[in-house]
């Protein structure tokens, strides 16, 4: 999996009280990447994670494991959002090209997850993936 999915976007979250989207973690432009990291459920399994880090102070503003069943919506060329269980996240991209790049990278991961789950007798995608993307183990940030 190429770690080349790196875009600049404002990370958003759904504010159900107002019915609108609001910037997460105080707003500002963030680097958003799709990378492999350790899951935080204690089993230490490696999984794909969407991570956002604010450019101005490197504060983590987004940490979201990519799971099967993730619902991805393209609202317009520069605003896309997705839902994982009851959590909703969105990205306001700097350009349509960034949005396309992110969407393609995410689709690649979702396809891998779907393929890996269809054959329980084979090794999981995490075990079969021996490449190390150089990412340090991560600590979750839950705002």
Does 143 fall in a domain? Answer: no
pLDDT for 141 = 39
> What pLDDT is recorded for position 42?
55
In-domain check, residue 125: no
- At 52 the pLDDT is 95
pLDDT at position 120, please? 42
Quick check: 88 and 97 in contact, CB under 8 A? no
In a domain, 140, yes or no: no
Domain that includes residue 108, residue range = 6-116
Query: Is residue 46 one of the residues assigned to a domain?
Result: yes
DSSP assignment letter at 45: -
Q: Quick one: tokens of 88?
A: 């909703």
pLDDT of 118: 44
Q: Could you give the number of structural domains in the chain?
A: 1
Cβ count near 45 (within 10 Å): 13
* CATH classification at residue 63: 2.30.29.30
Write out the chain's pLDDT in tens, 143 residues. 445 689 999 999 998 898 899 999 888 999 999 998 876 665 667 789 999 999 999 999 999 999 888 999 999 999 999 998 888 999 999 999 999 999 999 999 999 888 875 434 334 344 334 333 333 444 443 44
Lookup: tokens for 125: 């995608």
Spell out the residues 6+ positions from residue 103 whose beta carbon is closer than 8 angstroms to its own: 72, 74, 80
Q: Is residue 34 part of a domain?
A: yes
């Amino acid at each position: 999996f190429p770690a080349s999915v790196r875009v600049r976007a404002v990370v958003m979250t759904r504010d159900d009280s107002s019915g609108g989207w609001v910037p997460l973690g105080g707003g500002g432009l963030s680097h958003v990447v799709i990378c492999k990291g350790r899951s935080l459920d204690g089993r230490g399994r490696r999984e794909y994670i969407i991570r956002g880090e604010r450019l101005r102070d490197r504060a983590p503003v987004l940490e979201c494991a990519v799971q099967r069943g993730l619902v991805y919506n393209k609202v317009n060329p520069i605003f896309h959002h997705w839902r994982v269980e009851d959590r909703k996240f969105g990205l306001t991209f700097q350009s349509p090209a960034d949005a396309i790049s992110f969407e393609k990278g995410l689709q690649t991961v979702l396809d891998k997850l779907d393929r890996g789950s269809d054959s329980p007798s084979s090794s999981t995608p995490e075990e079969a993936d021996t490449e190390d993307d150089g990412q340090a183990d991560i600590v979750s940030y839950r705002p």
